[in-house]
Structure 1
Amino acid sequence: MSKQFTQRKSSERRAGNGNEAADLNSREYAVGWPDYELLDAGDGKKLERWGDVVTIRPEIQAHFQPGWTCLDWQARADWEFEELSSTQGTWKKLKPQANEHWQIAYQQLTFGLKLTKFKHVGLFPEQQANWRFIAARVKPGDKVLNLFAYTGAASLVARTHGAEVVHVDSIKQMLDWANDNQARSALTDIKWVLEDALKFAKRELKRGSRYDGIIMDPPAWGLGAKGEKWKLENHLADLIETAHGLMHPGAFLILNTYSPKVELQDLASAAAPCFSRNQSEIKQLWMQSKTGKALLYGNLLRVIA
């Protein structure tokens, strides 16, 4: 699979169909922090504060009434993303002095953010739930492999806790962005790999490499460098099997899914040949807004081997 996609994530980032009725015990909630808040959600959009910058972005999971009015949103927001197609759009400036580039902090880390034509700004804040998990599991000297690694938040969290990190993404601009975040955070020595994530992992398997932690945040769909189609549901079992082969005893695995074709049961079925039920946890990833709206962000597999 080539990760030279036309975009980093599915533009709609939908979760598995039919999961809204899952038992509440299968939910995990990410939480905001001083530099990030999910302010409100509804009517197919979400209102977010990133430091001093407030954005309105499309969100297919926000299929309910928002807590605040449209006028409230417009009064608070600096930018609103307007979709031109299912994959791209433009940002409408709502405040004259709105910044197009800025920085926010998460604990001791610093991330550079900017407006992109794919509606993203360089950080997926719902991943705070996984950053907590990584921080709790990683020990100095652990080897961590971050595949489909984007702008590097998970890599930086692991590195902060003493891990030797291999960060893999096939888009050079993402590696450059992640490297800049490393410098902003006063960290060094992350190994950057510009390559197809799954192909790299398979080569590592042949080389006999082993890791204490593996992080995978693959896109739901996309097009490869030669126009080949990537659909996560077609590669899910291969991703998990390959990760299993790379794991030391006691290692952890994190796999996020945003595909409408990958439900909780699909994750369970794909993980079953490699991991026992008591090694795995399969959850929905949620975040609650300041106005009390619960927003679904996808499905999540975590394993401790």
Structure 2
Amino acid sequence: MERNYHYCVERNRELIPPDTDMFRVMDGVGDGIPGVFVDQMADRLLVSTRGCSIPADLESELRDTGMPVFHKKLEQNQKDAPVQIAGPLLPLQFTALEQGVRFKIDMSAGYSQGIFLDQRDHRRRVREKSAPGMRVLNTFAYTGAFSVYAALGGAQTTTLDLAQPCLDWARENFMLNGIEPSAQYFCKGDARRWLERFARQGRTFHGIILDPPTFSRDDRGKVFRVESHYGELVALARECLEPGGWMLCTSNCRKLGHEDFRRMVARAVPGFRLTHDPMPPDFSGEDYLKRLWVDWK
């Protein structure tokens, strides 16, 4: 059954954690509008479409909210920034709140606007699993959201990404939450080579987050594809894990099924306990995100 925007907003008041103003409002097929997704980003709305246009009645509803509305076509270049289609012109960079944690959002950024909303529950669990004296490694960190949660839990974090602008953005997110970036570590470069280096150095972590892009190419031209190489990545990370530690293994690769993903991870960490958890309740459509908690038995 197709649901309208206002119905979904009211429904989500019961689903979304307190102190959170960014979340999925409408989730494609889960709300009867395949290929159309609406995200609340503080006092802005982001509509993403895949293989279709925004339904006229939905666009009219969104315009009537009076909020800035942005549109992103997912079938185009994923690095294209959303285009504003309605509402007042407000600063494109602003701060949004998730479970009491502040993040810089940028509506002019391509690919993503600074955070992946479908990982919200995982971020909360990373904070719960972190504690003073622990070391947490966040690979493919993007803007460091997992790192911020781990640091708020008391852990010392290492934030690793290939792009310097992402690391700079992560530092801003730390400062937004009263965390001094100089007390944390930041590493620029290819995650696989850093994991190899950490293993040689005997540098270990109590928690490791592995959330790589579906496809990437490092500065030496080496290709990484999740459906082919994720198990190798997990095996590298295993060499850097403290006894009794944990890993979060996730991927949004649609070419890789849940069972194939589980088998790939299980082969890389034999004897470990693997736990699959649900998507956040506001993501009621396609169950695309592969996610496993890997715990040392």
- TM-score, scaled relative to structure 2: 0.81
Contact map agreement 1:31 1:126 (CA 8 A) in 2: no
- Aligned twin of 1:230: 224
Q: Which has the higher helix share?
A: 2
| One-letter amino acid of the structure 2 residue matched with residue 192 of structure 1 | F
- Aligned twin of 1:198: 192
Contact map agreement 1:81 1:119 (CA 8 A) in 2: no
| One-letter amino acid of the structure 1 residue matched with residue 23 of structure 2 | E
Contact map agreement 2:27 2:282 (CA 8 A) in 1: no
- Aligned twin of 1:141: 133
Confirm or deny that 1:157 pairs with 2:149: yes
Match of 1:71 among 40, 60, 66: 60
Helix, strand or coil at the partner of 1:272: helix
- Aligned twin of 1:212: 206
After superposition, where does 1:43-122 map in structure 2 within 5 Å? 43-58=34-49, 69-76=58-65, 77-82=68-73, 85-93=76-84, 94-122=86-114
- CA RMSD in angstroms comes to 2.7
Q: Whole-Å Cα distance in 2 between the matches of residues 84 and 267 of structure 1?
A: 24
Per the alignment, do residues 262 and 39 of structure 1 end up closer, same or farther by CA in structure 2, a change over 3 Å counting? same
C-alpha displacement at 1:140, in angstroms?
Answer: 0.9
Q: Whole-Å Cα distance in 2 between the matches of residues 172 and 261 of structure 1?
A: 29
Contact map agreement 2:211 2:251 (CA 8 A) in 1: yes
Structure 2 runs not aligned, ≥5 long: 1-14, 29-33
Q: Whole-Å Cα distance in 1 between the matches of residues 142 and 215 of structure 2?
A: 15
Confirm or deny that 1:257 pairs with 2:251: yes
Q: Whole-Å Cα distance in 2 between the matches of residues 132 and 173 of structure 1?
A: 25
Helix, strand or coil at the partner of 1:69: helix
Per the alignment, do residues 223 and 247 of structure 1 end up closer, same or farther by CA in structure 2, a change over 3 Å counting? closer
C-alpha displacement at 1:204, in angstroms?
Answer: 0.5
Contact map agreement 1:285 1:299 (CA 8 A) in 2: no
Q: Whole-Å Cα distance in 1 between the matches of residues 128 and 160 of structure 2?
A: 22
Q: Whole-Å Cα distance in 1 between the matches of residues 219 and 49 of structure 2?
A: 27
Match of 1:298 among 269, 272, 289: 289
C-alpha displacement at 1:141, in angstroms?
Answer: 0.8
- TM-score, scaled relative to structure 1: 0.79
Per the alignment, do residues 59 and 141 of structure 1 end up closer, same or farther by CA in structure 2, a change over 3 Å counting? farther
C-alpha displacement at 1:278, in angstroms?
Answer: 6.5
Contact map agreement 1:45 1:58 (CA 8 A) in 2: yes
Per the alignment, do residues 238 and 284 of structure 1 end up closer, same or farther by CA in structure 2, a change over 3 Å counting? farther
Helix, strand or coil at the partner of 1:233: helix
Q: Which has the higher strand share?
A: 1
Per the alignment, do residues 130 and 83 of structure 1 end up closer, same or farther by CA in structure 2, a change over 3 Å counting? closer
C-alpha displacement at 1:285, in angstroms?
Answer: 3.3
Match of 1:127 among 114, 119, 125: 119
Contact map agreement 1:201 1:243 (CA 8 A) in 2: yes
Confirm or deny that 1:41 pairs with 2:41: no
Structure 1 runs not aligned, ≥5 long: 1-28
C-alpha displacement at 1:143, in angstroms?
Answer: 0.8
Greater RCO (CA < 8 Å, at least 6 residues apart): 1
Helix, strand or coil at the partner of 1:296: coil
| One-letter amino acid of the structure 2 residue matched with residue 70 of structure 1 | E
Helix, strand or coil at the partner of 2:142: coil
| Cα deviation digits, residues 45-82 of structure 1 (max 9, x gap) | 2111111111112358xx9x99x733223434521124
C-alpha displacement at 1:90, in angstroms?
Answer: 4.2
- Aligned twin of 1:280: 274
| Cα deviation digits, residues 230-288 of structure 1 (max 9, x gap) | 31122211111112111112101001111122222222222223445761113563542
Per the alignment, do residues 285 and 34 of structure 1 end up closer, same or farther by CA in structure 2, a change over 3 Å counting? closer
Q: Whole-Å Cα distance in 1 between the matches of residues 151 and 124 of structure 2?
A: 13
Contact map agreement 2:129 2:153 (CA 8 A) in 1: no
Q: Whole-Å Cα distance in 2 between the matches of residues 164 and 201 of structure 1?
A: 17
Aligned residues: 270
